[in-house]
């Protein structure tokens, strides 16, 4: 499990360590320098092994290979391994790791983030690199600047050299370190740092593969550390070297998409409660008392977490104990969604899938999946709405083949409006597509709404919020939480990074390749989640935080299945469902089906 700490929590963790004289900044700077030396050396070695003009070509080739493992874009935002205080041979003179003569440009802000960067710059100079620091503010970390200059680094004030000259300098460099602001950042970058970053970001877009390797120090400067917003200019990084713990903005969209690969340097913080070490030691990060546990942490599930959650059958299980999923999806106009949702449910291991809908659609579902029972009966979860048109209150006779009536009936059961004598007890549900327009009562968290940004905006407008799709995409965490509070349901907001917000922790999952943004993929996800909810139906109703965890698990499996079906190319939704059994098998065997 990846576990992000807010800026407030980071400060609380630092305080006692700094008071005890722990050299946090020295550790951060050393770890940062080791990563930079390694990456520069790697690119130079690639360049030497290549054909023509050395390092620059090698850099372009290697950058192209990042994310080409079937997870384009996503592999780049997944946090990397903990490097701690590395002793890698990166940068060894004359060897494969030779970095002598390579050029680094440091963007240095006024605080400790700039201090980390300057101390790291001093390490780079000592390894034979040419390093230029651009001081973006009238102030700079005094000891850091002194150490940098003493090592032989060159420092220039932005006021003297001006933005266009810095852009030129950057274009000629091998690596750029963005150390303008870290966890002390407040809001969009102000001038002159904001103007500098905007110019560099534009130059990066224009230069494409000719742009130097870019490393963000702790965070990409300008992102919202705690909410993942991108309120102004940000220089997109190839890698973020972050200190002590992940920050929410490195996991949450849209900021997570500016961070590149995230690598954690251990500066001596206690382990987080999400880690095995913390569980063993009984360390609780909330012991510092700064975090409101009700606000929830920002987490990302990993394969082992999902394996532990998956309702794998035991020897005594039969189809009813494993859970029956009731699917109300599709119309005669949109029959495909019913096939996809039912396939997602069947192939992720439901004990039974029941389909409710028009006969013509039921026949198609049976043709694709003969395991499905096209008849009503007891179920342990509902999947409501894929391929069902939105309710139009002005349209007296919507062409929905009676699906809205069936959905209203199921919703009355899951929201507890009908007597349990009638419904046989509460059960969880997935509410997707057209069913999102049919909500009349406050929902329990065991009901998971699965909108994309446009659908969430529409839902929120119906609840009195002035918001459109762009606004939701700019602040997904905020609007997902708002929708949870307003409806009571758990919100799974679909996107390149999917956010799940319920009564407890928030999950930010980045598992799927960009190819997954295709018609029908969401129907498959709804089916997978239906199976997970049915497998733990009673527990989901009793534990109000479980639906969000299972929703995040479904997103991981769906994303990994999409990556497998895609293999780096286009993917059709039904192929995602077909890839699910192998992905689940690998998860349960303890492998990482990346």
**Minimum distance of ligand LZDS7PUF from residue 325's CB (angstroms):** 46
416 labelled ligand-binding: no
188 labelled ligand-binding: yes
The interface partner of residue 98, options being ligand LZDS7PUF, K ion, none and the CB cut-off 5 to 8 Å by kind, is none
Q: d(Cα 290, Cα 7) in Å, to the nearest integer?
A: 10
Closer to ligand LZDS7PUF at the Cβ: 22 or 575? 22
Q: d(Cα 56, Cα 344) in Å, to the nearest integer?
A: 45
Q: What is the dihedral of CA 25, 27, 30, 33, to 10 degrees?
A: -70
Q: Are 559 and 509 in contact (CB under 8 A)?
A: yes
The interface partner of residue 132, options being K ion, ligand LZDS7PUF, none and the CB cut-off 5 to 8 Å by kind, is none
434 labelled ligand-binding: no
Pairing mode of beta strands 447-449, 261-265: unpaired
The interface partner of residue 25, options being K ion, ligand LZDS7PUF, none and the CB cut-off 5 to 8 Å by kind, is ligand LZDS7PUF
Closer to K ion at the Cβ: 107 or 493? 107
Check whether the bond before 521 is cis (ω within 30° of 0).
no
Q: Residue with the closest Cβ to ligand LZDS7PUF?
A: 182
Buried b (16+ CB within 10 A) or exposed e, 373-402: ebeeeebbbbbbbbbbbbbeeeeeebebbe
Q: d(Cα 212, Cα 223) in Å, to the nearest integer?
A: 21
435 labelled ligand-binding: no
496 labelled ligand-binding: yes
Q: What is the CA radius of gyration of the chain?
A: 26
Q: d(Cα 538, Cα 442) in Å, to the nearest integer?
A: 20
Closer to ligand LZDS7PUF at the Cβ: 18 or 463? 18
Closer to ligand LZDS7PUF at the Cβ: 110 or 153? 110
305 labelled ligand-binding: no
Closer to ligand LZDS7PUF at the Cβ: 10 or 62? 10
Residue 593, helix vs strand vs coil: coil
Residues that bind ligand LZDS7PUF (CB under 6 A): 14, 18, 24-25, 28, 109-114, 116, 181-190, 193, 217-218, 243, 267
Least Cα distance to 517 among 453, 434, 421 occurs for 453
583 labelled ligand-binding: no
Least Cα distance to 269 among 357, 175, 183, 328 occurs for 183
Enumerate the H helices of 179-234 as residue ranges. 193-207
Closer to K ion at the Cβ: 221 or 331? 221
- 532 membership: H or E segment, kind and range: helix 521-535
- Which of 48-56, 170-178, 260-268, 405-413 is the region at the interface with K ion (rule: CB under 5 A)? 170-178
Q: Which of residues 194-233 bind K ion (CB under 5 A)?
A: 217, 221
Q: Residue with the closest Cβ to K ion?
A: 221
The binding site for (6S)-NADPHX consists of: 112-116, 182-188, 218, 337, 387, 452, 523
The binding site consists of: 112-116, 178, 182-188, 218, 221, 337, 387, 452, 494-498, 522-523
Which residues make up the interface to K ion (CB under 5 A)?
A: 178, 217, 221
């Amino acid at each position: 499990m990846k576990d992000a700490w807010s800026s407030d929590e980071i400060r609380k963790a630092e305080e006692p360590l700094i008071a005890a004289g722990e050299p946090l900044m020295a550790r951060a700077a050393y770890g940062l320098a080791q990563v930079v030396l390694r990456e520069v050396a790697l690119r130079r070695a690639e360049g030497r092994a290549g054909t023509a003009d050395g390092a620059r070509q090698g850099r372009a080739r290697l950058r192209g290979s990042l994310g080409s493992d079937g997870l384009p874009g996503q592999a780049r935002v997944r946090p990397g391994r903990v490097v701690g205080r590395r002793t890698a041979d990166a940068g060894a003179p004359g060897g494969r790791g030779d970095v002598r003569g390579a050029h680094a440009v440091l963007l240095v802000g006024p605080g400790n983030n700039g201090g980390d960067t300057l101390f790291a710059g001093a390490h780079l100079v000592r390894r034979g690199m040419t390093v230029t620091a651009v001081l973006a503010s009238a102030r700079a970390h005094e000891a850091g600047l002194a150490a940098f200059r003493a090592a032989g680094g060159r420092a220039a004030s932005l006021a003297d050299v001006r933005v266009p000259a810095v852009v030129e300098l950057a274009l000629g460099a091998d690596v750029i370190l963005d150390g303008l602001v870290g966890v002390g950042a407040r809001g969009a970058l102000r001038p002159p740092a904001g103007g500098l970053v905007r110019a560099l970001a534009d130059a990066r877009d224009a230069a494409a593969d000719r742009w130097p390797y870019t490393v963000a120090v702790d965070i990409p400067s300008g992102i919202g550390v705690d909410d993942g917003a991108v309120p102004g200019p940000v220089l997109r990084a190839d890698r973020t070297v972050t200190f002590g713990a992940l920050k929410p903005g490195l996991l949450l969209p849209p900021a997570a998409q500016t961070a590149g690969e995230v690598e954690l340097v251990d500066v001596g913080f206690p382990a987080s409660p999400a880690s095995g070490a913390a569980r063993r030691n009984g360390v609780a990060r909330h012991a510092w008392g700064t975090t409101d546990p009700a606000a929830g942490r920002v987490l990302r599930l990993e394969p082992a977490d999902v394996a532990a959650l998956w309702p794998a059958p035991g020897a005594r299980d039969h189809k009813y104990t494993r859970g029956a999923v009731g699917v109300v999806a599709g119309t005669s106009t949109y029959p495909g969604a019913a096939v996809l949702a039912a396939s997602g449910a069947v192939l992720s291991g439901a004990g039974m899938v029941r389909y409710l809908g028009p006969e013509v659609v039921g026949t198609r579902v049976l043709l694709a999946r003969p395991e499905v029972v096209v008849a009503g009966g007891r179920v342990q979860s509902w999947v409501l709405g894929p391929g069902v048109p939105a309710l139009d209150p002005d349209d007296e006779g919507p062409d929905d083949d009676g699906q809205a009536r069936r959905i209203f009936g199921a919703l009355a059961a899951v929201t507890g409006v009908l007597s349990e004598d009638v419904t046989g007890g509460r059960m969880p549900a997935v509410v997707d597509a057209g069913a999102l327009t049919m909500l009349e009562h406050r929902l329990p968290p065991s009901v998971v709404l699965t909108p994309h940004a446009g659908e969430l905006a529409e839902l929120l407008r119906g609840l009195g919020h002035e918001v459109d799709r762009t606004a939701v995409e700019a602040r997904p965490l905020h609007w997902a939480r708002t929708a949870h509070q307003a409806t009571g349901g758990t919100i799974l907001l679909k996107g390149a990074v999917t956010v799940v917000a319920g009564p407890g922790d928030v999950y930010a999952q980045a598992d799927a390749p960009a190819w997954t943004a295709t018609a029908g993929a969401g129907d498959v996800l709804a089916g997978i989640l239906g199976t997970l909810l049915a497998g733990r139906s009673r527990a989901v109703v009793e534990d109000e935080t479980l639906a969000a965890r299972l929703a995040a698990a479904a997103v991981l499996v769906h994303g990994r299945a999409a990556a497998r079906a895609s293999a780096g190319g286009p993917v059709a939704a039904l192929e995602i469902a077909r890839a699910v059994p192998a992905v689940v098998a690998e998860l349960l065997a303890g492998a990482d089906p990346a």
